[in-house]
Amino acid sequence: MNLHGGLFLPHHQAKTNMKEVNPQETSRASAFDLWMTSPMPMVTLTKTFDITHIHKASKKRHIKLNALLCWCIGNAASQVEEFYMLPIEGKMYQFNSIAINVIVNNQKGGINSCDIPYTHDFNRFYEDYLRLTQSVSESCESIFIEDAMIIGTSAVVATELDCIVNQYTDKFLNPMVMWGKYRQSWFKTTLPISFQFHHVQMDGGHAARFLDILQKEMNAI
C-alpha cells in the first residue's frame, strides 16, 4: 500500500509491520463510528513548552535542536498506545513501529519530505537523521517509509508563531507536530508547539497525555 507516493526506504518486514484491523474490535470503535465520515475530523492542541534544558543540551553537545525535538516526539509517542493505529481510506490499520517525518530544504531551493525511523537509541536515530536528510537535500528526492505510522513535523523557524493549524486533507490523516522560532528570555527558552491529530486515532485526553510526556522527555535530555 502506497501511503505517500514517492521513494521508499528498503524494508524487509513490510507485511508484518502494519495490518488492517476491525475497528469494532479496538478501543477506537466508538470514535471510528463518530468521526470517520466527519468533514473535519482533525483536532489541534497547542502548548507552550519550556525547552531551556534541551536547547542548552543541543548547544553543548553540538547536536541539531530539530533532531533532538524529533527524537523526543518519538519517545513520547511510543508511550501512547493510540499512536500505533491510524485510519486510512476508511479502514483502520495497526502498526508495529513509528517514524518521524521532517521537511528538508533541497539544493535546488525547494523542499522535500524525509521519514526518519524512530528508535529509542538516540545515537542511531541521529545517525539516520543526518544521513537521510543529507541524502534528500542532495538528491532532491523525498524518502518515505511505507509501513510505519508516520508522525509529521513542520518547523517554521523563520518567525515566532503562537499556533499552527495544518491544512486538512484526506490524503494525509497522520498526526502532525508543528512549531516556529523559539523565544528566549534571560533564564528561560520557550517554544509553542501545535499538535494536530485525527479524532478517530485518539481523543483529546490521549493528545494531552502525549504533550505532557513530551515535556518530560525534553527535561530528561
Cell numbers at residue 171, please? Answer: 490524503
The alpha-helical segments, DSSP class H, found in the chain are 14-17, 29-35, 52-61, 65-77, 122-139, 204-219
Q: Which residue has the higher pLDDT, 221 or 189?
A: 189
Position 9 in a domain? no
Position 15 in a domain? no
Position 146 in a domain? yes
CATH code of the domain in which 128 resides: 3.30.559.10
Cβ proximity of 183 and 42 under 8 Å = no
Position 155 in a domain? yes
pLDDT at residue 8, as a whole number: 47
Position 6 in a domain? no
| HSE-CB for 39 with a 13 A CA cutoff | 0
Domain that holds residue 144: 25-219
Can you tell me the distance from the alpha carbon of 220 to that of 203, in angstroms, rounded to the nearest whole number?
A: 26
User: What percent of the chain stands above pLDDT 90?
Assistant: 87
Residue-wise pLDDT for 13-70, tens only, equals: 444 689 999 999 999 999 999 999 999 999 999 999 999 999 999 999 999 999 999 9
Mean per-residue pLDDT for 83-95?
95
Confidence of residue 131 (pLDDT cuts 50, 70, 90): very high
Position 156 in a domain? yes
Can you tell me the distance from the alpha carbon of 219 to that of 221, in angstroms, rounded to the nearest whole number?
A: 6
pLDDT at residue 49, as a whole number: 98
Residue-wise pLDDT for 93-129, tens only, equals: 999 999 999 999 999 999 999 999 999 999 999 999 9
Position 14 in a domain? no
Confidence of residue 6 (pLDDT cuts 50, 70, 90): very low
Neighbours of 179 (CB within 10 A): 24
Position 17 in a domain? no
pLDDT at residue 9, as a whole number: 45
User: What percent of the chain stands above pLDDT 70?
Assistant: 93
